[in-house]
Amino acid sequence: MALNLLLARWQFGVTTVFHFFFVPVTIGLSLLIAVLETIYVRRGDEAYRRLAEFFGRLFLVNFALGVVTGILQEFQFGMNWSSYSRFVGDVFGAPLAVEALLAFFLESTFLGVWIFGWDRISKSLHAASMWLVALGTLISAFWILTANSFMQEPVGYALRGGRAEMTDFLALLGNPQLWVEFPHTVFGAYATAGFFMAGISAYQILRRHHPDLFARSLRLGVLFAAVFSLLVVVMGHAQAVHLVSAQPMKMAASEALWQTSPSPAPWTLVAIPDSANQRNYLEIQIPYALSLLAYGRLSGSVPGIEQLQAQAVARYGPGDYVPPVGVTFWSFRLMVLAGTLMLLLGLYGAVLLWRGRDLAARERYLRLLVWAIALPYVANATGWLMTEIGRQPWVVTGLLKTADAVSPTVSALDVGLSLALFTLLYSLMAAADLHLTLKYVRLGLEGRESEEVPEVGVESTLGL
C-alpha cells in the first residue's frame, strides 16, 4: 500500500472516531432536554428546569466540539480524497446541501434562541426551540447517512466520464441500506444519551448532591437507555439480515468465515483469525446462531470469503477483495459485547422501575451506571470501524476502490504532517471536552443558580 494512502486512511479514521465521540450524545441529549423542559412547562415544576439547564450545559460543550471536529473533517476530503470527492460530488451535492441549509440552520438558530431565551420568551416557545434543535440533529443525521448509505449500497446513479452522476434523487431516499442504517444509528445515539444522563445522575446521587432531583433524570435516562438499547438490537439484526444480500463479503469478514458455512450455520463467538492461511485458531462457536443472525431463522448457509473472493474476481477483475478480517471480526464482537451489556443494564433498571423500586437507593446499580457511560462510546466507535473497514477495498461499493480515491498529488509527507496536526488538535479538543464535562458535573446544579430547591421525598421519585 502506498504510504500516502495508508496515512490518509489513518487520518480519516482518527478524525472520524473523534468526531463520532461528540455527535451521538448531542443527538440524544437534545431530545432528553426537550422532554425535561416540556415536563417543566406542563407541571410548572422548577426542578425540571434546573435539570434541563444542567444537562443543557453538557449538551452545549459536546455540540460545539462536534461542529468544530466536523468542519476539520470536511477539510481533509478536499485535501486527501480529491479523486473520491470528484467521483461522488454530483451524488452527494444535494443531500449535503440540504443538510447544511436546513438541518444546521434549524440547529444553530433555535439553539441560540434556547441559550439566550430563558425568561425572555414564553416557556412554551422556549421548550419548542429545543424540540426544533432535536429535529435539526435528526435531519442532519438523516442526510449524512443518506450519503454514507450510497457508499455502502450505490443506487440512483449513472457512471459518466469516470464519475457517478445522480439520476434518481428518490432512489437515494429509498435506498434500503439507509432504512436499516439510519434508525440503527439514531437509536444508538438516543441510547448513548440515556446512559450519559443516567450515569451522571447516578454520580450526583452517590455524592449526595440533590439526590431527590437527580433521581428524576436518573429514571428518564434509564428508560431511554432501556428502550433504545432494545431498539438498537432490533435494528442491528435487520441490518445484519440486509448485509447478507447487499454486502456479503463484509458479513463473511465480520464472522471470519473463510469457507461457506454448512446449514444451519454456527456463530463464532471468539476466534483468532489467521488471514495469511485463511483459517481461525481457538474457535468457540454457538450452533444455529449465525443462521439466526443472517436470516432470522434456524437454517441457511452463509457464503464464505473464499467463494466471495472468486465471485468478485469474476465480476471486477483480478485483485484482493477481502477486507482486514481481524479488525472487522473483533470490532463486531466488541460492539455486540458493549451493546449486550447496555441492554442488560437498561432492562434491569426498567424492570426495577416497573416493579416500583427506588433506583436511587441501589448503590451498586448506581456505580455500574457511572461506569456504563463508556459502553455506548465503545459500541459506536467499534460499530463504525466494522462498517467502514468491512467495506474495503471499496470506498464506494463496487464502483470506486479506496486506493483510487486518494489525492494523487498530495505527498506522504504532507499527509503525515496533517495527520500529526489533526491528531494533536483532536486530542486537545477531546481533553477539553472531558475537562469541561467533569467541571460542570462537579459544579452540579449550582453551576449557574444557587436558589433553594424544594425538597422532594424519596417516595415521590417513583414517577416522573
Q: What is the dihedral of CA 402, 376, 23, 53, to 10 degrees?
A: 180
- Between CA 336 and CA 183 the distance in angstroms is 17
**Tens digit of pLDDT at every position of the chain (464 positions):** 588 889 989 988 888 888 888 899 999 999 999 999 999 999 999 999 999 999 999 999 998 888 888 877 777 888 889 899 999 989 988 888 887 778 888 888 999 999 999 989 999 999 999 999 999 999 999 999 999 999 999 999 999 988 999 999 999 999 999 999 999 999 999 999 999 999 999 999 999 999 999 999 999 999 999 999 999 999 999 999 999 999 999 999 999 999 999 999 999 999 999 998 889 998 899 999 999 988 888 899 999 999 999 999 999 999 999 999 999 999 999 999 999 999 999 999 999 999 999 999 999 999 999 999 999 999 999 999 999 999 999 999 999 999 999 988 888 888 899 889 989 988 998 898 889 989 889 888 876 544 444 444 433 433 33
Residue 405: name the closest of 420, 418, 392, 419 by CA: 392
The C-alpha cell at 149 is 448509505
Cross-strand partners of 281: 272
Residues whose CB is less than 8 angstroms from the CB of residue 233 and which lie 6 or more positions away in sequence, other chains included: 339, 343
DSSP three-state, residue 176: coil
- Between CA 369 and CA 219 the distance in angstroms is 12
Looking at residue 461, its pLDDT comes to 38
DSSP three-state, residue 410: coil
- Between CA 217 and CA 55 the distance in angstroms is 10
Name the one residue in this structure whose C-alpha cell is 450510497. Answer: 150
- Between CA 181 and CA 235 the distance in angstroms is 8
Phi-psi region of 263 (alpha: psi -120 to 50; beta: other; left: phi over 0): beta
- Between CA 223 and CA 245 the distance in angstroms is 34
The C-alpha cell at 56 is 443543557
